Amino acid sequence: MYVTTMTAIFLWIANQTCPASPPVNGKHVNASQDTRMVVLIDPGHGGSETGACSQVTHECEKKLTLELGLQLRSRLEARRIVRVEMTRTTDEHVPLYDRSAQAQKRRADLFVSIHVNASQSHRERGFETYLYPDMPRTIDSMGSLPPNPDSRAFAQWNVDRVAADLGRRGQRRCSVQFGDLVESGFRHALGRRFDRGLKEKELAVLAGLDVPGVLVEVGFADHPIEGRLLMDPAYRRRIVEVLARAIETWSKLGRQAGCLRSETPNHPAKPAPHRTEAEPQEELPNLPELPTHMTRKERAGLLTWRT
């Protein structure tokens, strides 16, 4: 009787501490058996850090990136090809050095930071993707260091950054390959003329990463036309669809190239299988209709997005 009771208690505890993951392809699996790639989505800014704000729509970056991040999570979870983690799900401040540290804590295989751009002239427009440089010199002013250089958080951030620098050479090729997928998707969905390219920049949010990662600027909030587009639900769905397809494609190509954390943690990545833009793709959602409140000049400018 005593043995039976203890066995029952042990099984109950095991079920509580090792909950099953959501169904994968219709089957329930334990978290330890879930071999799907893990992507960490990072909605930029938050809390007191508003980010870029639009003078046209009066919306700020922190709100737009959070909405895009949550929509992207819903889109990815619906297909269950990858597992999704978020650095934030509410309007809260998350330190830059903590965002990249979460990639290691959550055993992520890919880090995607979503941002919205702005310019002094308010005339710049387009999309671009950033990688951390192979040979960094300084931290960019956009990515501030932990506020207290004597704090434990700063010391840990510095250790993580040095460790990431040592492993970045092998992972950088993976980041480039994923960045190419993102840029290719945006060119197909939004137009080549607004492609600002795949670039390198010393951003603190990418500095401590030990996995492939990019920062994506999806558009300029302060542009009179693009700012309105970024507020349009149909246009946002197109942005989310591009990012989702790039992530899902990378879950296959990254595994083949040895870029996933669980595959080759200390070995340089192999080239990913060649993929051309000519490959057939599903039809993307239609671009939003021309807003009726825009001037004739603005409507003419918006038509360029259909090319």
CATH code, 171:
3.40.630.40
What's the pLDDT score for residue 208? 83
Return d(Cα 86, Cα 296) in angstroms, integer: 41
| 102 occurs within a structural domain | yes
What's the pLDDT score for residue 31? 57
What's the pLDDT score for residue 157? 58
Q: Which residues are 83's β-sheet partners?
A: 38
What's the pLDDT score for residue 236? 95
Return d(Cα 83, Cα 77) in angstroms, integer: 7
| 224 occurs within a structural domain | yes
| 156 occurs within a structural domain | yes
CB 179 within 8 A of CB 201: no
What's the pLDDT score for residue 70? 98
**What are the φ/ψ torsions at residue 83 (nearest 5 degrees)?**
-95, 145
Domain enclosing residue 51, as ranges? 35-306
| Confidence category of residue 246, pLDDT binned at 50, 70, 90 | very high
What's the pLDDT score for residue 128? 97
Q: Whole-prediction pTM value?
A: 0.74
| 250 occurs within a structural domain | yes
Q: Tokens 């440089």 label which residue?
A: 133
Query: Number of folded domains in the chain?
Result: 1
What's the pLDDT score for residue 162? 56
| 78 occurs within a structural domain | yes
| 267 occurs within a structural domain | yes
| 27 occurs within a structural domain | no
**Count helices and strands in the chain by DSSP H and E runs:** 8, 6
Q: Which residues lie below 8 Å from residue 61, measured CB to CB, with a gap of 6+?
A: 44, 45, 50, 51, 52, 53, 115, 116, 118, 221
* pLDDT, mean of residues 218-233: 93
Q: Tokens 């329930």 label which residue?
A: 28
Is the pLDDT score of 245 beyond 90?
Answer: yes
Percent residues over pLDDT 70 in the chain: 63
CB 129 within 8 A of CB 179: yes
* pLDDT, mean of residues 206-220: 94
What's the pLDDT score for residue 263? 64
| 109 occurs within a structural domain | yes
CB 115 within 8 A of CB 206: no
Return d(Cα 192, Cα 216) in angstroms, integer: 16
| Confidence category of residue 14, pLDDT binned at 50, 70, 90 | very low
Alpha helix locations (H) across the chain? 2-17, 61-79, 96-105, 152-190, 204-207, 226-229, 233-256, 296-302
